[in-house]
Amino acid sequence: MNFIRLYTSAMSMKIIVTIFTIIPMLYLFTNTLKASGDIYNVEMQLLLIASYIFCALSDVKYLFLLIIQSLASFISGICINKYPRYAKIILFFSIGINLSMLGFYKYYNFFVENINNLISHISGFSSIPLLQIMLPVGISFYTFQNIGYIIDVFRKTTSPCTDIINYGLFASFFPKFIAGPIERSSNLLCQISLPRTINIVSLVDGLYLILWGYFQKFVIADNISVICKKIFLLENPSFFILCAGAFAFTIQIFSDFSGYTDLARGYAKLLGFDLLKNFNNPYFATSPSDFWRRWHMSLSQWIRDYIYIPLGGSRVSTIKWIIVLFITFSITGLWHGASWNFILWGLYYWLLYLLYRGWNAFVPGFIKNLRYGTLVSIPLMFIFTNLGWLIFKETDSAYLWKYFTISIYDWDSAQLLPAVYLICYTFIYSLPLFIVSVFMFCRENGANLTFYNRVYFKIVLIPLLLLSILLFKSTKSSEFIYFNF
């Protein structure tokens, strides 16, 4: 019964589409893994059809939106290369098409609602109507991917794609379609343009990533989400109950999003593709800048390369750097959703950057370079990250204000025990994630742990992960959090 529930979960359509797209992979495999041109073309066409079916499963009309944006970007790339004299005009036109569609579907009601509130406050009435718009799945991800491609062609760091099938697949490749990673043409498009081979290593790696992704989602994130829902429904949570809720959401959002990314990377590996890594132990970060080098890496690198650095980055004066950073984090927050809490979340990290820069400027070097300084900097940054996720989660400004004005003395012994229980409950479910994170942290700092990459080790882990999913999967599955972005 648990096995059936697993396949009827929120990710069941991904499995169905994978079965459909695995046909060309098997076809390649039976041909001794050496694809001829004809077979390669058939494979690309089948993968594109499968990706479009995957998109149409949410709402078929949004498939046309995806196709329009893909065609506009594809044609713009060719025109930029063919007509360099008008390259800048074509670039702005293409970016405008992509951003206008993203802006209309994701932000129209947000801006209209705020304009109406302002007009109502001034004149007592408002007249701009709101629209019933459903957010197209994956639009934030494939819009940024299209824009990145066009800018790369304009900068001549990548060659324009001349095959409409290949570019269509680059824009819509189903494993990463809903929640990334945001791919670069230098990575995914190059792989699409060349025939690939499938071997036992990539198959084992893919299956391991899929099961580890399911484990993070169904065992860790979904079980912990029960705590989050109960705590954040409370009218007046105590300080320590709120701390337990913030800690639970911190673990939930990481295992939820990281789980999806590993699923995407795993399914892509089964088809011979390597998607970008999206996480690198973000909760072991020592500073805000270190956190953004580790969290949602495909987005943070995209914003760094296409917004932060073009605006001047860290090479400008201090005052201008503060303004550039403000713009960068405002966009980062707004990208996540049409709500003020996301903008505040982005600006929260802007303030953290300023605080940490001030710290580095005025604190003596011997203090910053203490041998065991990470034993302080990592927990401190983890606390700051928890506070940030509290802003990220709460869309009601009244409740958000209440959370940040709760006194540490607002508790009694009757509330302390449930808070300790909830924190322990969260830690127990997140223990496998913690062990993996410590293991990766040790590797990052020079420990010789090469056995992790060996095939036989993952072959042993695969049945253990599958058994753990079947035994400990939450009975209340929830949608992936980043499906909403």
Question: Of the candidates 467, 484, 475, which has an alpha carbon nearest to the alpha carbon of residue 211?
Answer: 467
Q: Where are the domains of the chain?
A: 14-198, 201-484
Phi and psi angles of residue 436, each rounded to the nearest 5 degrees, phi first: -60, -40
Which residue, chain included where needed, has tokens 């930029």? 80
> Which tokens belong to 177?
């379609």
Sequence-distant contacts of 279-286: CB under 8 A, at least 24 apart: 279/254, 280/440, 280/444, 281/437, 281/440, 281/441, 281/444, 282/254, 282/385, 283/250, 283/254, 283/382, 283/385, 283/437, 284/378, 284/437, 284/441, 285/378, 285/381, 285/385, 286/374, 286/377, 286/378, 286/381
The values of phi and psi at residue 156, to 5°, are: 65, 30
Q: Which segments of 31-189 does DSSP mark as H helices, in order?
A: 37-56, 60-82, 87-102, 108-123, 139-155, 164-172
Give, for 238, the enclosing helix (H) or strand (E).
Answer: none
Whether the CB-CB separation of 228 and 429 falls below 8 Å is answered with no
Q: Which of 181, 255, 264 minimizes the C-alpha distance to 225?
A: 255
How far, in Å, CA of 63 to CA of 411, rounded?
52
Dist. CA 439–CA 309, nearest whole Å: 33
10 Å CB burial of residue 413 (0-12, 13-18, 19+) is exposed
Please give the Cα distance from 117 to 434 (Å, whole number): 45
pLDDT by position in tens, the chain (length 485) = 333 333 334 444 444 444 444 444 444 444 444 444 455 567 778 888 888 888 887 778 888 999 999 999 999 999 999 999 999 999 999 999 999 999 999 988 888 888 887 777 777 666 777 778 888 888 999 999 999 999 999 999 999 999 999 999 999 998 888 887 999 998 998 888 887 777 888 888 889 999 999 999 999 999 999 888 888 888 888 888 888 999 999 999 999 999 999 999 998 988 889 999 999 999 999 999 999 999 999 999 999 999 999 998 888 888 999 999 999 999 999 999 888 999 999 999 999 999 988 887 777 665 666 666 678 889 999 999 999 999 999 888 888 888 888 777 766 667 788 888 889 999 999 999 998 888 888 877 766 666 566 777 888 888 899 899 988 888 877 778 877 77
Which amino acid, one-letter code, is at 181? P
Q: Let me know: does 67 contact 60? Beta carbons within 8 Å.
A: no
**Can you tell me the distance from the alpha carbon of 483 to that of 467, in angstroms, rounded to the nearest whole number?**
27
What's this model's pTM, rounded to 2 decimal places? 0.86
**Do you find a cis peptide bond into 181, omega within 30 degrees of 0?**
yes
- Is there a contact between 65 and 142 (Cβ–Cβ < 8 Å)? no
How far apart CA 2 and CA 222 sit, in angstroms, is 15
Extended beta strands in 359-472, E state: none
> Cβ contacts of residue 126 below 8 Å, gap of 6+?
115, 116, 117, 119, 120
Q: What 3-state class would DSSP assign to 408?
A: coil
Mind telling me the catalytic residues? 336
